[in-house]
Amino acid sequence: MSLLLALILITAGNQQTPVQLRVLIEVVQVIDLPLTISETALVKTKDGYLLKCLLSNNSEFRTLGLRYSLAVVYASNEVNAVVTRNEGIKLRQYQTKSVTFKTPVKLKMKTDARLVLILEQVVSTEYVWEVVKAQENLAAYIQGDYSVVARVLRLTNQVDTPPRRPVVIY
């Protein structure tokens, strides 16, 4: 009986689940955006990498989507590639959610690569927040110039805003 138990334990110990390759990402925080992104990582799949992160909506508006840029940087601060993606995400007011974006990111990275991400745009039901010169802000961050503060432009969302009902005055 104890021999059978030992064989079962040895067999179970040898059947380990495969370890997912996770590559951590630095995030350029843009303070004036209503969305905060943290705990970012790329997870390797057979089709490419998936972006996993924690998103927090810090506004009173429902979030509908975002655009981000992801840069692959090598030790000499040489930017190898910049990938820009638009993603749909629904977050209620003041909600925090762990998400995985299903669009695979195709990247070829060396082991000494560092990844840097910046949110460029956030779309809500009422407004669109756009980072002015986002690529220049990303480049400054990569070069180590942390004094550059990203400016955000807020525009009224004329596309996704629900139509206002007519007011009837009696």
| pLDDT digits 0-9 by tens, 108-151 | 777 788 899 999 999 998 999 999 999 999 999 999 998 999 99
Whole-number Å distance between alpha carbons of 146 and 74: 18
pLDDT band (50, 70, 90) for residue 17: very low
Q: Is the pLDDT of residue 5 over 60?
A: no
Report pLDDT for 8. Answer: 55
pLDDT band (50, 70, 90) for residue 48: confident
- 161 or 11: which leads in pLDDT: 161
As a whole number, mean pLDDT of residues 50-67 equals: 94
Q: What are phi and psi of 161, to 5 degrees?
A: -70, 130
Report pLDDT for 103. Answer: 80
Report pLDDT for 163. Answer: 63
Question: CB of 107 within 8 A of CB of 73?
Answer: no
Whole-number Å distance between alpha carbons of 115 and 107: 11
Write out pLDDT tens, residues 68-94: 999 999 887 788 888 899 999 999 999
Domains of the chain by range and CATH?
19-156 (2.60.40)
Report pLDDT for 18. Answer: 47
The chain-wide mean pLDDT, for the chain, equals: 85
DSSP per residue, 79-107: EEEEEEEEEEEEE-TT-EEEEEEEEEE--
Q: Which of 142, 90, 83, 146 is nearest to 114 (CA)?
A: 142
pLDDT band (50, 70, 90) for residue 164: low
Report pLDDT for 16. Answer: 47
DSSP state of 76: T
Q: State how beta strands 114-124 and 26-28 pair.
A: parallel
